[in-house]
Amino acid sequence: MAQRAKRQKRKRKQRAARPSGGEAMATGYSRARAKDDEARAALVPLEPGERPVAVTVGAIVALIFALANLGAYVAGVKVQGDRPAPAGVIVYSGLMLLVAYGMWRAKYWAVLGMEALLAIIIIIFALLALNAGNVVSGVIAVVAVAAAGTLFWFLIKAMARIQMPERPGTQKR
């Protein structure tokens, strides 16, 4: 019984020593804020004409998607037994060409749009992986999620560098 009382007393002291409520939240927030500030300080703004590797890869991927989509339509590929509507093919291909152009020019809006498309791809292929009918389709779905997730991850830092304000004395692009 005496040991139990000692343990409870020790726990009360430990609780009293910890910051409570708003103090704990403020401490945690300031620590997270300091880490964010360190990460921002480590970023180097893009030089004029510079394009991060991940953005270049994303632009090429978007261009390949657009051209593959148009090529498949011209070749007469059918989806579930029917040819896709030409308007849908044109809109999707046009969107991917626009994203490819914007990413090639290292525009923030284009990288953000590509990340949105990658997020949709990740969700769709993750759901397809759950319902894979055979090993091959499961492997394809996992590879697609891994590839899209990797590109998504590397585009995040590139977005931060693209969004950074210009250094004093430099001209706007």
Q: What is the pLDDT of residue 166?
A: 55
Give the span between the Cα atoms of 103 and 111, in whole angstroms.
6
The residue extents of the domains of the chain are 50-163
Tens of pLDDT, residues 51-77: 889 999 999 999 999 999 999 999 988
Q: Is 57 exposed, middle or buried (0-12, 13-18, 19+ CB in 10 A)?
A: middle
- State the pLDDT confidence band at 9, using cuts at 50, 70 and 90: confident
Phi/psi at 2 (nearest 5 deg)?
Answer: -65, -35
Q: What is the pLDDT of residue 26?
A: 62
Q: Which two tokens stand for residue 75?
A: 């070749």
Tens of pLDDT, residues 36-48: 777 777 777 777 7
Q: Which residue has the tokens 């990460």?
A: 39
Q: In b/e form, how buried is each residue of 100-119, taking b as 16+ CB within 10 angstroms?
A: bebbbebbeebbbbbbebbe
Q: What is the pLDDT of residue 63?
A: 96
Tens of pLDDT, residues 66-107: 999 999 999 988 888 889 899 999 999 999 999 999 999 989
Q: What is the pLDDT of residue 139?
A: 94
Q: What is the pLDDT of residue 101?
A: 96
Tens of pLDDT, residues 144-173: 999 999 999 999 988 888 876 555 455 554
Model-level pTM?
0.69
